[in-house]
A and B are shown apart, each in its own frame.
Chain A
Amino acid sequence: MSSPEVATPTAEAAPMPVTPAVVESAPKKDKPRSLWTDAWYELRRKPLFVISAIMITIFVLMAAFPSLFSSVDPQAADLNRSLTPPDFGSWFQFGKQGQFGFDLQGKDIYARTIYGARASIVVGLSAVLGNMLLGGTFGILSGYLGGWTDTLLARFGDIFLGLPFVLGALVILSTFAPVQDSPSALRITSLVIMTFIALGWPSFARIMRAAVLSTKQLDYVHAAQALGARPGRVIFRHVLPNAIAPMVVVGTITLGGYIGAEATLSFLGVGLREPVVSWGIMIGDGRNYMETAPYIMAFPAAFLAIAVLSFVMLGDAVRDALDPKLR
């Protein structure tokens, strides 16, 4: 049990042996536990998980009930207060305006940042989950089955890989949600999500496929196959849990990328637009005022960074908890 620590050139790995000891002793007391109960037991005692879970809860609340955080209308524009810098004196005073300053149109940046959480988180999360589902499935199938399935799926993915994001997005969005028809916020949002999935799944599939290729060579997979386990069982019980890590990593990071990319679409006139508020739109709007009014961009960008950080930390903690080898 001590050999891996020897492999570490430093003594920094000391905290690690603690966890396995705890976990090893714990399951013995109760009935046999499932992977998930183990994981939950593991998670509760990780500060990383607790912090990120609290942060995500706050963001989810923000997305669901923005009026809990701000009573100001995010659309109220008064050009007279255009580009007013943040008023730090009014922080923590509910109902006040201008905590984060006002943007070019004289809209309250604090209120907009709060209201922007919904669109940003919904778009980012759904796009990543959709990609993981679609890309992950294709990746497992082509990695595990190999042969013609692999060839067909991989080459099909290659076609989409070459597709320029801007072109695909322009066509999908202007065909199904033309500006002329004043499409509803729901329609644009779901199309933006679908665009991200349509253009993003091949990358996820390739990452998954690579992980499956090396996992399926492992002894316990061969053992399971030799014992006559059906492919479905082998995939779900043995291959998937051990191959999912790279995709979780890519997924959690891409979440932040998508929230930012949504801004690119808005910039092109095909993404989310008024009256929908999103962090991406706000960051795009602030682009021209980086020097003179950095607060327009800084606050939504900071929220975006913290949200992504929370999701990555959560993903990390959950993955560690699910991986029996790490205990």
Chain B
Amino acid sequence: MKVRVLVRLRPGIMDVQGAAVQRALVGLGFGDLRDLRVGKVIDVDVDASSVPAARVRVDEMCKKLLANPVLEDYTIEPVEASSLEATSALR
């Protein structure tokens, strides 16, 4: 079962990476940029019978390792194989 984890800094935590990227984009002429925050995408393929079961396992992974609860929030989304390919095709 393929699942996508999005890890983001919790609201209010300073995003140093986002701030630097934002500054650079403005410098490159993107003056219309209002806000930008950087997170991580982690694609996980887990042996599970159903999406909810996969979710439970991946949630444990997030709590144990993938996210730092002091700084980060995470969301878990199921992904179709085709959409993974579509994302890479955009590059």
Do A and B truly interact? no
B residues near A (Cβ < 8 Å) are none
